[in-house]
Amino acid sequence: MLAKRIVPCLDIKDGRTVKGVNFVDLRDAGDPVELGAAYSEKGADEIVFLDITATHEKRKTLAALAKNIAKNLNIPFTVGGGISSIQDVDVCLMNGADKVSINSAAVRNPALVDELALQFGNQCIVIAIDAKLVDGEWIVYVSGGRTPTKRRLFEFAKEVESRGAGEILFTSMDHDGTKAGFAVDALAQLSDTVNIPIIASGGAGNMEHFAEVFTKGKADAGLAASIFHFGEIEIPDLKQYLREQSIEIR
């Protein structure tokens, strides 16, 4: 079994880190490059940077962001936000990102996953899936969680795996920012559905939630934002706690 990973996530809007609840009510959490460097020093295993700003200059923004982060970080990092083409991915990887996160574009055009995996390799293609429980079914949403689709979480995850995704980042929109715990039942089912690593996102509020997501939820990595940004949990303390729970951690 692979060692579990702790992954801080930085949502970036207009060059600043922001955090909300259920994808709304954003508040400022600091400079993303400074935060990333601090997390690297504290023992984060990887970091995810998601640019949630809608902009016509998206490619230039992502290139500058990746380049700036790469200069200040010594751990793997993923960049995402509005990535929808081979050119977008190329720019991010050329400027130092280790992986890219594809969300809405993969839902709208699943064949893009095949193209990216073929061009760049499975290992750097992360498919981010935002989903919400609606009438007993996990429905996939796009456009930053604003638009429901006809896609279902588990069948879509299976499809992107078959097309060459190297990893899935699943965010439960119902749990996002609530600090009430991860969607462990859905995560466990997702883990049983696919054979690629799963990053759990949405709901981390305390150390016990991470222990639960790695055991009951069968996740390979635990992602969180506000509890790290606002100093509620320190990564070294979290890793020590998980080791005490006999959970193998990086």
DSSP-H helix ranges across the chain:
32-42, 58-72, 86-94, 104-108, 111-120, 153-163, 184-193, 207-215, 226-229, 235-244
Nearest residue to 77 (alpha-carbon basis) of 68, 85, 144: 68
Burial of 25 (0-12, 13-18, 19+ CB in 10 A): exposed
């500058």: which residue's tokens?
Answer: 64
Residue 203 to residue 173: CA distance in whole angstroms: 9
The span from the CA of 26 to the CA of 42, in Å, is 25
Pairwise CA distance, residues 28 & 184, whole Å: 28
Q: Within 10 A of 26 (CB to CB), how many other CB atoms are there?
A: 16
Query: Which one-letter amino acid corresponds to residue 28?
Result: D
Q: Is 45 a catalytic residue?
A: no
Quickly count: other Cβ atoms within 10 Å of residue 150's Cβ: 8
Identify the active-site residue in 88, 130, 176, 220.
130
**Do the strands 147-152 and 99-102 form a parallel or antiparallel pair, or are they unpaired?**
unpaired
Residue 41 backbone phi and psi in degrees, to 5: -65, -30
CA–CA dist 239, 61 (Å, integer):
33
Q: Is 31 a catalytic residue?
A: no
Active site residues: 11, 130
